[in-house]
Each structure stands twice: as structure tokens, then as C-alpha cells.
Structure 1
Amino acid sequence: MECKFFIYFLSLLIFFTDDLIGERKFFPNLPVGEYKLKFHGAFICNESINYPLFYNMHTSRVSETKTVLTGKYIAKIPFDDSLTLDLNMAVLDTVGGWKYNAFVYRHSNACSRLKKFMGEVWRTYLHSYEPISSDCPMGIGNYTMNGFDLSLLEKFNFPKQFYYGIYKLKIQYINKEDVPVGCLYIVLQFTRPWEYNV
């Protein structure tokens, strides 16, 4: 009899506790899913190399949720479709080292491919430079980037679900002789949407 009473009491407790708590929110801890991006920095790949496409970029946090890319871009050669776009992402592992080639993308026609990859953000990207470039190819000259909003990267033609973690994205442009002519690192974090402001 005592056992039946205990089970009955436990059932009532569970039933009413669920009603008092209300709707439970389930936050799965899966390794992949929809994401929000956090940016930790941007820097040149190798300062000792004088790249023909020289990116001296850095990130600036202008609000709690907005990070912009600013800096100088010096083009001694045109950025056009004679170059190859090479993207390589390294993931930060659990012991603090980088595991390279976590995501690799390489395609010819760098300017057109970057334009397609950026999608609707392409025009905003070009208008963040001074002087403003109109389209592919970007000509020779000295450009100043006046705050490209990096949150727009979420609108790129990139998978809308990805593996969570911190990545070091290497953006590299390669000429026909297979020599890098421009290189930039961006360190970013793919976070779960409910962990974004934590």
C-alpha cells in the first residue's frame, strides 16, 4: 500500500511540477546546426612578404553585436578572374592547436567566384572601400575599407548549418604560376544562436 501511495504521490509531483515550470526549452548540444558568427580578429598571413594584393585589415567592435572590418588594401595588380580563390579553414581543437584543412575551397576566376560566393552582400562589400569599386575586376590602387559589417557574412552563399567551433579562415589569391599574391586571415566562431550573447 505504501508503495502505491509513493508512486501516486511521485506522479502528482511530476505532473504539477511540469505545470509550474511551464514550457521547457530544449537546447541540444549537437556539434552542428544553425549558427551565429562571432569575430575574433583579422590579420595578414605573413608580414614579411610584400604581396601584390596587400591586405592590412583588422576588426573593430563598434557595439556588443557588431564587428566591422577596417584597414588598407593596396592593389599592385588588378583583382580579376585570372586569379584563383583559395579558402582554407583550420579548426581550434580541444588542446588549443589548429587542425588545418577542416574546410577547403579552391576555384578559378577569383573575382567572379567571390562575387557569387558573397551574393547580395557583394555591393555592400565594394561600397565599404574608398574609392568605391564598381565591380569585377577591382583595379590597381590604394583602397581604405571604412567598416564592412562582418555580420553580413551570415548572408553569404555558405551553408546555413555548420560545425560549431572557432575557425581560422585563410583567404588566399593565387596567380597562374601557383604563387600566392594576396592573403588574409579571419578568426571567427560559429556559435549556437542561444549562446551568441553569452
Structure 2
Amino acid sequence: MIIKKVFVLFEIFYLVESNTIFLPNLPLGEYRTVFERVYPCISTNRFQTNLYFSKRTSNITEIKGNFTMLKPLDDSYTFDVNFASWSLTGGWKPNAMVYTAKNACSNMKIFYGSAWNSLKEKFNFSSYNCPISPGTYISSGVDLKEIEHHNFPKVYFYGRYKLTMKIKDVKNNVHGCCLVVKSYPEMTVEEYGCRGEYRTVFERVYPCKSTNRFQTNLYFSKRTSNITEMKGNFTLLKPFDDGYTFDTNAASWSLTGGWKPNAMVYIAKNSCSSMKMFFGSAWNSLKENFNFSSYNCPISPGTYISSGVDLKEIEHHNFPKVYFYGKYKLTTKGEYRTIDINAESWSLTGGWKPNSM
């Protein structure tokens, strides 16, 4: 299949620190995990957890011991997780967070995310997939940092928690139970690095070489001291549909000058639908202000003109709300069967770095 480039769009913008980043007085944010204890709780012992924490070095703590299964761990059970939070006046308060899911084995895999791989490898489970056969699975040590690669929210309330995990049957009998006591202290400035919540400062937007099947004739215009708008038009010579691929690449500006590519890369098929998802609520603003033929895909050929879209509306996208501060060059491309969006960032030492996103 011949690949034809359709359009390329550059956006230059800054991600700069906002007034809301790193709020030590608020009890919510990114955290690091401090594990304190792990121990079994009352059950029929069909699924046993005989685990403990061991300090290997000043920086590395491991989980050791074994899992013993007297029956296959499969999806006939329910996985029940309950977070109790430590009260400032003392004592545990249950139900700080509750997660209950049928198909226990499969949902445990989802809950643990990448950490499941580490557990499988270090404890030598009979299979990565479900069910897990009866047996005793022993490990001489798993770095707890590997266990943090789970699918639990990365932003949560700071504090001390007791996590109770149970495996139940349809009659609510508990066949496996494990307690973990851990703390979520706030991350330090050093751990945050130079990233956080940001506001966006747009500098330029301009087209680059393409076949012009999809044309972006846009510019930024200052309406007031506080409002900058994007004006111009999108011209589509063909329907913009899901027959393309959406490819985004952000280049970051290096401290030594020049753009460094691949600061972030996002590639997705079904370009029109994927762009809608990428832009989030900003897609509504673009549709309304440019009078697209439809909110949904495909968008018909035509010239769609706007007298001005407030750039603050464009910020209501689904790009991560926490990211590294800096200057970036975002490149968007379109190709037949492939739409390629490439974001380049401005290096601190000068020059564009492609593929920063």
C-alpha cells in the first residue's frame, strides 16, 4: 500500500508551573509507598499467604515467604479489597476505599497490573494466566518497588492505611485473607523532579510540507491581555475518517539547546475517533467554533472557519494533567492509512527534539 502524507501541524508551547502544583497543605496528591507489615487474617486457609518484609539494603526492602494454595485459584471466587484509614484520633476507619469484583483471579491480575508479572516470576506461579494450580509458591525476595507498579490510583489521599484482601466464595465464606499496613506520605520535591501540574503557554502554530489533503491554516491572536484565541480554518479535501492512524510526537527543548524527539509518543489507529478521545472536551469547542459538519466521525470535506477559539478551551484535553515542565514542539501529521501527530519540544540548549510525546 502506498503511504501518502496528508498534513503536518506544528504547535509550540510551554508547560510551565501553575499556582496549584505541590500543595503540601492538601491531603491529596502523588505519593510514595512505605510498607510496614504484612500478615494473614482469619479464613479457611484454602489460600494461604505466609509473607514478611525484609530489608536487603538501606534502599531496598523485599517481600519474602510463600503462597500456598490447596485448591486452584480461578474465577469462581470474588476478590474483595477494603482500605481502612488511620484516624487522627486513633483507630482504623474501614471503607476508605472498597473494591469488590467477581472473577477473582482475572481481576487480581488487573488490580496488580505490571506487579502481577513480578509476583509470577519471583514466586514461580504455575501460570501467568488463570487458573493458578494448587501448590506452594516460594520466593527468596521481591523488591517492593516492583509491587508499586500496580493499577491503584497514582494520586490518592496521604495517610496510613490497612489493606485487607479477601478471596470469597458465592456464600461469602472467606477462603483467603491477607492484611497489609502501609503509608502514603507525600512525595518530596526531589521525587517530583521538575514535573507537576502546569499551565500551557502557546507560542506558534503553523503548517508544514504535505499533500494538503487536510489543511490547517491557523494562527494565534491576542483578544485581550488575558485571552488568546486560535483563528483560521481547517480545509478537508477528503472525508476525515478512521481510515488513518493518529500519531503524536512531542520533542522537548534541551538544556544544551536543540530539540530532543520522543519526549512523548502517542500512536493510534482510527484517527478521527482517536483524535476525539485525545482532545476530550476540547473537541466540543473545536466542533462548535469551527462548525464541523458533525460531532461524530467522519467529518465531511469542506472549509471550516472560526473567528476565534479561546485557547483556554483547548486545554480541556486528555493529555496528562501532570507532566514535565519545559518547552515543547508538537507535530501532527496525516498519512493515507496513517495520520501522524508528532510533538517536538524545544531543548534548553536550543533546537527541536522530535518524539517528545
Same-fold call, TM cutoff 0.5: yes
Aligned equivalents of 1:79 and 1:26: distance in 2? 42
SS in 1 for 2:129: coil
Aligned to 1:174: 168
Give deviations 1:44-85, integer Å, cap 9, x for gaps. 113xx5410011111112233322211121111111111110
Out of 177, 180, 191, the position equivalent to 2:185 is 191
Aligned residue pair count: 171
Out of 136, 139, 142, the position equivalent to 1:142 is 136
Out of 29, 34, 37, the position equivalent to 2:25 is 29
Contact 2:62 2:143 in 1 (8 A): yes
Aligned equivalents of 1:145 and 1:175: distance in 2? 27
Q: Once the two structures are aligned, what percentage of the paired residues are identical?
A: 35
Q: Where in structure 2 are the equivalents of 1:118-157 lying within 5 Å?
A: 118-130=112-124, 133-157=127-151
Offset, 1:105: 0.4
Offset, 1:29: 2.3
For structure 1, the 5+ residue unaligned runs are 1-24
Contact 1:36 1:196 in 2 (8 A): no
Give deviations 1:62-114, integer Å, cap 9, x for gaps. 23332221112111111111111000011111122111111110000111111
Q: Where in structure 2 are the equivalents of 1:83-98 lying within 5 Å?
A: 83-98=77-92
Structure showing the higher strand proportion among its residues: 2
**1:88/1:195 CA distance change after superposition, 3 Å:** farther
**1:53/1:196 CA distance change after superposition, 3 Å:** farther
**1:87/1:135 CA distance change after superposition, 3 Å:** same
SS in 1 for 2:74: coil
Contact 1:90 1:100 in 2 (8 A): yes
SS in 2 for 1:159: coil
Aligned equivalents of 2:106 and 2:190: distance in 1? 32
User: Are 1:71 and 2:65 counterparts?
Assistant: yes
Question: Which residue type is aligned with residue 99 of structure 1?
Answer: K
For structure 2, the 5+ residue unaligned runs are 1-20, 192-357
User: Are 1:113 and 2:103 counterparts?
Assistant: no
Aligned equivalents of 1:76 and 1:196: distance in 2? 46
SS in 2 for 1:147: strand
Offset, 1:160: 1.1
Offset, 1:132: 5.1
Contact 1:126 1:135 in 2 (8 A): no
Structure showing the higher helix proportion among its residues: 1
Offset, 1:145: 2.6
Aligned equivalents of 1:105 and 1:119: distance in 2? 15
Q: Relative CO higher for 1 or 2, CA cutoff 8 Å, sep ≥ 6?
A: 1
Aligned equivalents of 1:123 and 1:70: distance in 2? 16
Alignment RMSD (CA, Å): 2.2
